[in-house]
């Protein structure tokens, strides 16, 4: 009998599509800080995306309950480390609302001025770092030079470079230094004179436009569904800005200067364009605040507070248009010197959820472009 030979052919995974699970982060050059993305891939295309958060485990909301109303400002200062002044502001506005406290006019206008300078500092970081993620190294050097000009005036007035700790319940820590307003005005003019570099270097770059135009479009329906806010929402045509629609501080008197920038495309390019135009407008608002401060008569910058500050029993909600979007502060008091509960609604936490909608169907190569265009801070997610 003639012996037979059996041959086994292994066709492997080539016969049908095979999904691969890829973890980006929590420590990876393509992520911002300790964010982890769990991606399911079909070849080079993303079929499912899940942001995995919690690696910073800050626990700020629980810590609020063990600090008095002066101490919680320090905790709230840090969740979005690029928007420290604005973070402080939201907390003190909530406490002042609970107390029914009127803040001196000089403090109101100074707060508005510093909030807009802080907005410029925040936006400049992303205007420089986003092109860096797409291969353009030059813009980040220009961005940091302009940031340094404004950091100098912020440091002079508060003593801090990132965590200013300048807000107080009832106003601000102290009045502005002598001659500071003139130096701040010169710094604003200096930065404005060089902002066209971002138009020339970034928006005028065909590679940048090729990597961002039409990439990662976010529909207005998804903006509402996920609670997305700030520049990302306005880039998708959602025309909402608390500074105009529910004015706080001095924004009600700045409506002629305030311009809410929107786009309809909702893609990565639109988000960058909104951020850039908002930076220009924030510089204009800062100038308007300096003009008004020059007209105000001398007066107090804060209210005198009792040695032990206690908010009356009850609850209140305050929200602000932070640089990255809407921040909300739900404060519950039992009449003690510490909050019973202070719930923080941070902009980045909601904005990052949109990745579930944006990434599926896109290529892995576009993931970095989409991720960078959401302009978030991980501490603002893991609050």
Give backbone dihedrals phi and psi of 199, rounded to 5 degrees, phi first.
-65, -45
Least-confidence region, from 53-57, 90-94, 123-127, 223-227: 53-57
Using an 8 Å Cβ cutoff, are 176 and 157 in contact?
Answer: yes
Q: In terms of Cα–Cα distance, which of 65, 63, 118 is closest to 90?
A: 118
What's the pTM value of the predicted model, to 2 decimals? Answer: 0.91
What confidence score (pLDDT) does residue 82 get? Answer: 92
State yes or no: pLDDT of 14 exceeds 60: no
Confidence of residue 312 (pLDDT cuts 50, 70, 90): very high
Least-confidence region, from 5-19, 201-215, 258-272, 311-325: 5-19
What confidence score (pLDDT) does residue 329 get? Answer: 95
Q: In terms of Cα–Cα distance, which of 79, 63, 82, 59 is closest to 71?
A: 63
The count of other CB atoms within 10 Å of the CB of residue 47 is 15
Using an 8 Å Cβ cutoff, are 240 and 233 in contact?
Answer: yes
What is 248-291 written as a DSSP string?
-TTGGG-TTT------SS-SHHHHHHHHHHHHHHHHHHHHHHHH
- List, for residues 17-74, the tens digit of each pLDDT value: 567 888 887 765 555 668 889 999 988 899 999 999 888 877 889 999 999 999 999 9
- List, for residues 212-259, the tens digit of each pLDDT value: 999 999 999 999 999 999 999 999 999 999 999 999 999 999 999 999
Sign of CA dihedral 171, 174, 178, 180: negative
């Amino acid at each position: 009998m003639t012996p037979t030979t059996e041959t086994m052919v292994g066709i492997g995974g080539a016969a049908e599509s095979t999904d691969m699970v890829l973890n980006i982060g929590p420590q990876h050059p393509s992520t911002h800080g300790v964010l982890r993305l769990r991606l399911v891939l079909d070849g080079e295309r993303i079929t499912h995306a899940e942001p995995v958060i919690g690696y910073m485990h800050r626990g700020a909301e629980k810590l609020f309950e063990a600090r008095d109303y002066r101490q919680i400002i320090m905790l709230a200062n840090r969740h979005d480390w690029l928007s420290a002044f604005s973070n402080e502001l939201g907390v003190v506005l909530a406490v002042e609302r609970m107390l029914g406290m009127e803040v001196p006019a000089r403090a109101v206008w100074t707060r508005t001025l510093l909030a807009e300078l802080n907005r410029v500092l925040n936006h400049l970081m992303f205007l420089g770092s986003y092109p860096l993620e797409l291969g353009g190294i030059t813009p980040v050097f220009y961005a940091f030079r302009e940031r340094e000009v404004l950091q100098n005036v912020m440091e002079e007035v508060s003593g801090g470079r990132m965590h200013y700790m300048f807000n107080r319940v009832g106003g601000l820590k102290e009045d502005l230094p002598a001659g500071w307003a003139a130096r701040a005005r010169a710094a604003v003019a200096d930065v404005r004179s060089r902002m066209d570099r971002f138009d020339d270097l970034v928006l005028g770059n065909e590679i940048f436009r090729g990597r961002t135009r039409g990439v990662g479009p976010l529909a207005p329906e998804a903006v509402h569904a996920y609670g997305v806010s700030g520049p990302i929402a306005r880039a998708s045509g959602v025309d909402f800005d608390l500074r105009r629609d529910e004015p706080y501080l001095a924004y009600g008197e700045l409506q002629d200067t305030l311009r809410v920038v929107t786009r309809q495309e909702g893609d990565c390019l639109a988000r960058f364009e909104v951020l850039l135009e908002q930076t220009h407008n924030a510089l204009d608002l800062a100038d308007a605040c300096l003009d008004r401060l020059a007209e105000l008569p001398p007066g107090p910058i804060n209210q005198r507070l009792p040695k032990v500050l206690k908010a009356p029993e009850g609850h209140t909600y305050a929200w602000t248009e932070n640089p990255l979007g809407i921040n909300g502060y739900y404060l519950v008091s039992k009449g003690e010197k510490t909050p019973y509960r202070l719930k923080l609604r941070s902009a980045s936490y909601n904005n990052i959820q949109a990745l579930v909608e944006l990434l599926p169907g896109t290529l892995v190569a576009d993931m970095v472009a989409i991720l960078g265009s959401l302009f978030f801070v991980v501490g603002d997610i893991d609050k």
